[in-house]
Amino acid sequence: MDLKLAGQSVIVTGAASNIGRAIALGFAAEGAKITIADLDETLANQVAQTASDRGAAEVQVVKTDVTDAAAVADMVATAGQFGGIHAVVNAVGWDQLMFFTDTTPDFWQKIIKINYMSVLNLTHALLPGMIDQGEGSFVCISSDASRQGEPREAVYGGTKAAVNAFMKTIAKENGRFGIRCNLVCPGVTLPDPEEAVSDNSMWAKRDAMFTEEQLVKVANAMPLKKIGKPQDIANAAVFLSSRAAAGHITGQVLSVSGGYSMAG
């Protein structure tokens, strides 16, 4: 199916590794013009080169701290060099697994800034232009932790639930302007084994998140009996970004987690 994303200008935040990387490469395969917004310029440039090799019409990297509203506004202005921005995927996310009683207020603030304030910053910077052009798509990478809660992810799950509610509200406020907002909820999704991972990533030390024994247990708990791959999430995010394929879909929260969450 032709998603009709060729030549369209898209932004992917957190595209230097894992899910964001796969999403950027998914847009590349569709021939889109891609702006990669990430703090890790080195890995982002590697992704940009791969995206060019895989068919992206144009690619640029903008080093961006998504928790800084002014930096996000500057990045959006730079992305505008590729024309009106048709789609954005918020793929930035961060967590450290621990029980809430072990967390601190500084930890809360870091998670809130990265996972929630980043979405507010980007949405606020992009909405006026999308309203003027009469179309646009927001896709946020949320989490199944936002739908049913997860031990050791209390603050993280709370921020992702906030993103869900925020995006649904933006969808209702701006649907009249042709703007769609949707969310994709992964379960456990591991970076590809051959992929370099940023020092800023929550997967920088994979065994700090899950031991191999725990990953086996996670897979066995899934109806599909497997751990998610970045491409699984990318397929959904790119599809939802397509006006041709998903033009009548907005305000939806889609779990792509091997059946871990089956919210109706």
Greatest pairwise CA separation for the chain in angstroms = 52
258 φψ region: left (φ > 0), alpha (ψ -120 to 50), beta (else): left
Q: Is the pLDDT of residue 20 over 90?
A: yes
What integer is the mean pLDDT of 9-35?
A: 97
Residue 256: predicted pLDDT: 94
C-alpha to C-alpha distance for 121 and 68, rounded to whole angstroms: 7
pLDDT-based confidence at 156, cuts 50/70/90? Answer: very high
Q: Is the pLDDT of residue 148 over 90?
A: no
Sketch out the chain's domains with CATH numbers: 9-256 (3.40.50.720)
For residue 212, the one-letter residue type is E
Residue 220: predicted pLDDT: 83
- Residues 201-245 have pLDDT tens digits of 665 565 656 788 888 887 888 788 888 899 999 999 999 999 999
Residue 209: predicted pLDDT: 67
Give the number of other Cβ atoms within 10 Å of residue 2's Cβ.
Answer: 9
C-alpha to C-alpha distance for 176 and 240, rounded to whole angstroms: 18
Contact call for residues 154 and 108 (beta carbons, < 8 A) = no
pLDDT-based confidence at 193, cuts 50/70/90? Answer: low
CA–CA distances in Å: residue 53 to residues 28, 40, 58, 79, 88:
8, 20, 11, 20, 21
User: Would you report the helix, strand and coil content of the chain in percent, each value rounded to 5?
Assistant: 50, 15, 35
What integer is the mean pLDDT of 46-56?
A: 98
Strand intervals (E) in the chain: 9-13, 33-38, 58-63, 85-90, 136-141, 179-186, 253-256
The phi, psi pair for 87, rounded to 5°, reads -150, 145
Residue 92: predicted pLDDT: 96
Residue 217: predicted pLDDT: 82
Residue 203: predicted pLDDT: 58
What is the 8-class DSSP label of residue 80? G
